[in-house]
Amino acid sequence: MLPRRPISLIFIGLLILSLVFLGCGGSVDTSPSRPGKISGNYSGCATGAFLGSMESFSSFIASFESDTGKELAVAMWYVAWGTSFPEADCNNVRSYGAIPMITWEPYLATAFTLEAIATGEYDSYINDFAIAAKSWGKQLFLRPMHEPNGNWYPWSGSENGADAAAAQTYINAWRRIYNIFSGVGAKNVTVVWSVNHRSVPTNESWNQIGSYYPGDSYVDWVGADGYSWDGNSGEPTYETFSQLFSTVYATFEVIAPSKPMMVSELACAEGADKDTWITDAFNNLKGASFSKFKVFAWFNINKERDWRVNSDNDALTAYQNAVGDSYFIENIP
């Protein structure tokens, strides 16, 4: 009769075998499926980024995390309407331990984008997307119709009448989307209402940030997008983090005081002061004046300007030092 092996050794052997078999398929998401919405009730600010095409996501994230010395808690990308729920991309993001954030863009074959959504013309598509997101079953951020207070998207107030009625139609369209997700029981989907940090046009009463707020019952998080440009080619000039986000942060505290906040797009153009800008930005993010910002997503591509954190060695070093602080977390609890 063979001697009996200790139970602990048997357990260890089985564990090793299970890891080997799981590893045969590549990266495996071992995180639990948590169907509830992301609360934002945690300490620190979660690291996030947009890295470019999802076809090259694996190489992008490996390079980004190696360069910066920090893993991503959130990976953001853009999905045009008409596209089915990107389950494979979400699985890939989760395999790296990050939470997907889908920026959902309704580029529609109509001049009346908001009216078409608000009156139900796209209900079937929204419903199918929502059901697929629910079936996927893991937590994700969904950011529909972002930056409505700008004048560059077909779902903006400016492109849908440029008046108070346009802002109300945006709200109606938003609520319809949110209600469809709620109706199918997609509790794993955290919906982010995201605006540009400054309205364009600026001084129109109908185009103020608060004019587009759908209401607390239809929003899970609020977010703001902001970029520090270089002032070339007629674009806005250099602005500090505080100059970009102080006003919109104060607005959020008035119109949505109970909602967690995020910096849903963030970057600085390449220039002599980029490293200083990065250091200052992250000092602000971990400061008391912006403590409700619980996620940031760096726009890490070379588009219009070189927004990447590694656009030069000084910028990369500044970013490494900044996110190296324990305040910036690699996983959302």
For residues 154 and 110, give the distance between their C-alpha atoms in angstroms, rounded to a whole number: 9
Assigned domain for 156 exists = yes
Q: Could you tell me if residue 5 is inside a domain?
A: no
311 is in which domain, residue-wise? Answer: 34-329
Please give the Cα distance from 276 to 128 (Å, whole number): 46
Sort 102 into a burial class: Cβ within 10 Å, 0-12 / 13-18 / 19+. buried
Instruction: Judge whether 4 lies within some domain.
Output: no
Q: What is the pLDDT of residue 2?
A: 30
Question: Is residue 297 assigned to a domain?
Answer: yes
User: How many domains is the chain partitioned into structurally?
Assistant: 1
Q: Distance between alpha carbon 278 and the CA centroid of its chain, in Å?
A: 19
CB count, 10 Å around CB of 84? Answer: 10
User: pLDDT at position 295, please?
Assistant: 98
Q: What pLDDT is recorded for position 247?
A: 98
Q: How many residues are recorded in the chain?
A: 333
Confirm whether 52 is domain-assigned.
Answer: yes
pTM of the model: 0.89
22 touches 95 (CB < 8 A)? no
Residue 85: inside a domain: yes
Whether the Cβ atoms of residue 136 and residue 112 lie closer than 8 Å to each other: no
| Residue 309 · residue 319 · CB < 8 Å | yes
Q: What is the pLDDT along the chain (333 residues), one digit of tens a residue?
A: 333 333 333 333 434 334 333 343 334 444 445 579 999 999 999 999 999 999 999 999 999 999 999 999 999 999 999 999 999 999 999 999 999 999 999 999 999 999 999 999 999 999 999 999 999 999 999 999 999 999 999 999 999 999 999 999 999 999 999 999 999 999 999 999 999 999 999 999 999 999 999 999 999 999 999 999 986 666 677 899 999 999 999 999 999 999 999 999 999 999 879 999 999 999 999 999 999 999 999 999 999 899 999 999 999 999 999 999 999 999 999
Q: What is the CATH number of the domain that holds 208?
A: 3.20.20.80
Backbone angles phi, psi at 298, to 5 degrees: -80, 130
The pLDDT score that the predictor gives to residue 230 is: 80
pLDDT at 272: 78
Assigned domain for 239 exists = yes
Q: Is 59 among the domain residues?
A: yes
As a whole number of angstroms, the longest Cα–Cα distance in the chain is 88
- Name the β-bridge partners of 261: 222, 293
**Whole-number Å distance between alpha carbons of 169 and 32:** 38
Nearest to 91 by CA among 129, 56, 136, 55: 136
